Structure 1
Amino acid sequence: MNNKFWQKAALSGLAFTLFTAGLGTVTSAQGGKQPSSAIKSPEEELKLSFDDIQGGDVEWAAKPIASLATRPIFYGYPDGGFHPRKPISRLETLAFILRLVDKKQQAESSEEMNTKLPFLDADDVSSWGVGYVSVGLKENLISPGESYFYPEQGASRLWATKVTVKALGLEQEALSKKGAKLPFIDTNELSDEDKGYLAVGVEKGLIYGFIESNGERTFRPHDIITRAQYAGILGNAGDLVQDPTLVKGRISAVAPGQSLQVTTDLGETFTYPFYKDAHVYKNGSKVSSYALNTGDQIKLRHHYGSAVFIEVTKNAGITPDFTVTGEFEGMLVNSNGQITTVSLKRALNGSAASTRYTVSPNVVIYGKESDLTVNKMIKLDGKDGVIVAIYLTPQK
Structure 2
Amino acid sequence: MSYKRSRIRQSKKAVSTMLVTAMCLSGGAAAFADSNTTTTAANTTSTSSQTTAGTASIFSDVASGFWAEKHIYKLASEGIILGEKGKFRPNDSITQEEAVTLALRFMNLDSKLPSVPVVPDKLKVGNYFKPYVALALQQKLIDQTEEIAATGAKESWGSKKASREWIAKILVRSLGKEADAKAAGSKSTTFADNAKISNSARGFVTVAVDLGLTKGVEGNKFDPLGLVTRAQIATFFSRGQGYINPGYAGVYEGIVSELTDSKLTLYIDGKTRSFTLDNRSVFFTSDSETKIAKSDLKPFTKVMAIDKVGSAAYVEVTDPKQQVESIEGTFAKVTGGNTIWVSTPTGYASYGYDSATQFIDQNGKVIAPTAITADSTIEIQKETFSPDKKTVVVKVKSGLVNKTSSGTIQSVDQNAKTVTLKDASGSVEQYKVDNNTLVRYQSQIITLGELKPNVAVNYTVKNSVLTNLEVTQSVERTVKGMLVDVNAGSKLLTFKNSSGALDVKVLADKPSILIDGITDAGLNDLIADVNAGDQVEITLDAQEKVTRIQVLGRQSELLTDSTVVSYDSKYKALTVIDGAKKLHVYTLDEKTKLDYNSASPTLSGIEPLLTKDRKVSITHIGDRALSLQIIYKYEGTYVSANTSAKNVTIQLSGGKTMTLNYTGSSLPLEIYGIASPSLSDIKPGDAVVAQLSANQDVLQTLAVKTPVQFEVVSVDTANSRVRAKSKGITDEFYVDKATLLGDNGQAIKASELTAGQVINVTFNGRNVVSVQVVKLNLGKVLSVDGSTVTVKSFNGGNTSYPVSGGVKVIRNGSVTTNANTLTNSDHVEIRKDETGQTVFTVLNSIVRPFSYYDASSKVITVKHDFNDNNYRFEVSLDTYVHQGDTTLTVQSLKENDNIVLYFNNNKLVEIEKQ
* CA shift for structure 1 position 393: 8.8
Q: Supply the AA of the counterpart residue of 2:173.
A: K
CA separation of 1:151 and 1:47: change in aligned 2, threshold 3 A: same
Query: Separation in 2 of the partners of 1:49 and 1:295?
Result: 28
1:367 aligned residue? none
The letter of the residue matching 2:89 is H
Q: Distance between the aligned counterparts of 2:310 and 2:232, measured in 1?
A: 29
Residue 60 of structure 2 is aligned with which of 48, 51, 71? 51
Shift of 1:83: 0.7
Aligned-partner Cα distance in 2 for 1:47–1:352:
51
SS in 1 for 2:104: helix
Q: Which one of the candidate residues 256, 260, 278 is aligned to 2:281?
A: 278
Q: Is the 8 A contact 2:193 2:222 kept in 1?
A: yes
What is the alpha-carbon distance in structure 2 between the residues aligned to residue 70 and residue 204 of structure 1?
Answer: 33
Residue aligned with 1:97, SS: helix
Q: Which amino acid aligns with 2:273?
A: F
Q: 1:132 to 1:76 in 2, by over 3 A?
A: same
Residue 395 of structure 1 pairs with residue 752 of structure 2: yes
Structure 1 or 2: larger helix share? 1
Residues 55, 73 of structure 2: 8 Å contact kept: no
Of the three residues 243, 251, 254, the one matched with 2:248 is 243
Matched residue of 2:197: which SS?
Answer: coil
- Per the TM alignment, residue 201 of structure 1 is displaced from its structure 2 partner at its CA by 6.5
Partner of 1:72: 79
2:62·2:69 contact (CA, 8 Å) conserved in 1?
A: yes
Q: Separation in 2 of the partners of 1:245 and 1:204?
A: 35
Q: Which has the higher contact order (CA 8 A, sep 6+)?
A: 1
2:139 maps to amino acid: E
Distance 1:141 1:395, change over 3 A: same
Deviation string for 1:143-172 (max 9, x for gaps)?
A: 222354721110012211211221233322
2:104 corresponds to 1:98: yes
Distance in 2, matches of 1:208 and 1:87, equals: 22
User: Counterparts of 1:358-377 in structure 2 under 5 Å?
Assistant: none
Contact 1:293 1:316 in 2 (8 A): no
Distance 2:163 2:183 in 1: 23
Deviations 1:346-367 (A, max 9, x none): xxx999899xxxxxxxxxxxxx
Note closer, same or farther for the CA distance 1:316–1:228 as it changes in structure 2 (3 Å cut). same
Q: Which residue of 2 aligns with 1:110?
A: 115
1:1-396 correspondence runs (5 A): 43-54=52-63, 59-78=66-85, 80-107=86-113, 109-112=114-117, 115=118, 117-120=119-122, 122=123, 124-145=124-145, 146-147=148-149, 148=151, 150-178=157-185, 190=197, 194-198=201-205, 212=218, 219-239=222-242, 240=244, 241-256=246-261, 258-264=262-268, 266-274=269-277, 276-282=279-285, 284=288, 285-316=290-321, 395-396=752-753
Residues of 2 paired with 1:226 and 1:267: CA distance? Answer: 42
Call closer, same or farther: CA 1:70–1:218 in 2, change over 3 Å.
farther
CA distance in 2, matches of 1:94, 1:199: 23
Q: CA separation in 2, counterparts of 1:187 and 1:111? A: 41
Question: SS where residue 60 of structure 1 aligns?
Answer: coil
* Cα distance in 2 for residues equivalent to 1:204 and 1:74: 30
List gaps (5 residues or longer) in structure 2. Answer: 1-50, 323-362, 364-410, 414-451, 455-479, 481-534, 540-740, 742-747, 754-914
Asked whether the 8 Å contact 2:78–2:306 carries over to 1, the reply is: no
Confirm or deny: 8 A CA contact 1:260 1:273 kept in the other structure. Answer: yes
Does the C-alpha gap of structure 1 residues 185 and 62 become closer, same or farther in structure 2, counting only changes over 3 Å? farther
TM-score (norm 2): 0.28
Amino acid in the other structure paired with 1:231: A
CA 1:220–1:99 in structure 2 vs 1: closer, same or farther (change >3 Å)?
same
Query: Per-residue deviation at 1:250?
Result: 2.4
Taking a change above 3 Å as real, the CA distance of residues 311 and 153 of structure 1, as seen in their structure-2 partners, is: same
**Which whole-Å deviations, capped at 9, do the CAs of 1:317-345 have from their partners, x for residues lacking one?**
7xxx9999xxxxxxxxxxxxxxxx989xx
Structure 2 CA distance for aligned equivalents of residues 89 and 171 of structure 1: 22
Give 1:291 deviation, angstroms.
Answer: 0.8
Contact 2:56 2:281 in 1 (8 A): no
Q: Distance in 2 between matches of 1:227 and 1:53?
A: 12
For 1:342 and 1:394, locate their aligned partners in 2 and report how far apart those are by CA, in whole Å. 27
Distance in 2 of aligned mates of 1:323 and 1:49: 42
Letter in 2 for 1:236: R
Give the residue type in structure 2 aligned to 1:247: Y
The Cα shift of 1:246 comes to 2.6
Range with bigger deviation, 68-77 or 93-102: 68-77
Q: Distance in 1 between matches of 2:316 and 2:190?
A: 27
Q: TM-score, normalised by structure 1?
A: 0.59
Distance 2:280 2:82 in 1: 17
For 1:198 and 1:60, the matched residues in 2 are separated by 25
The alpha-carbon deviation at position 179 of structure 1 amounts to 5.4
Instruction: Give the paired residue count.
Output: 284
Secondary structure (helix, strand or coil) at the match of 2:291 reads strand
Q: Residues 308 and 55 of structure 1: is their aligned pair in 2 closer, same or farther, counting only changes over 3 Å?
A: closer
* 1:274 CA displacement: 2.0
1:110-166 CA-to-partner distances (Å, cap 9, x unmatched) read: 312xx2x2242x4x3211122112111111122222354721110012211211221
Question: 2:164 corresponds to which letter in structure 1?
Answer: R
CA contact (8 A) 1:165 1:200 kept: no
SS of 1:111's partner is: coil
Q: 1:60 to 1:273 in 2, by over 3 A?
A: same
Q: Whole-Å Cα distance in 2 between the matches of residues 208 and 254 of structure 1?
A: 40
Cα distance in 2 between the residues matched to 1:293 and 1:55: 23
Amino acid at match of 1:66: Y
Partners in 1 of 2:187 and 2:307 — Cα distance? Answer: 38
Tell me the percent identity: 23
CA distance in 2, matches of 1:129, 1:312: 35
8 A Cα contact 1:156 1:225, kept in partner: yes
Measure the CA separation in 1 of the matches of 2:211 and 2:81: 22
Query: Is the radius of gyration larger for structure 1 or structure 2?
Result: 2
Distance 1:110 1:179 in 2: 40
Q: Deviations over 1:257-313 (max 9, x none)?
A: x1112223x444322222541110136221221110113222222223422212223
Amino acid at match of 1:261: T
**Which residue does the alignment assign to 2:595?**
none
> Does the CA-based 8 Å contact 1:158-1:221 persist in structure 2?
yes
Cα deviation, residue 69, structure 1? 1.6
- Structure 1: runs of 5 or more not aligned: 1-41, 325-340, 344-348, 355-378, 380-390
Task: Tell me the SS of whatever aligns to 1:63.
Answer: helix
Moved more, 271-280 or 189-198: 189-198
Is the alpha carbon distance of 1:144 and 1:394 closer, same or farther for their aligned partners in structure 2, counting shifts above 3 Å?
A: closer
- Give, in angstroms, the shift of residue 88 of structure 1: 1.4
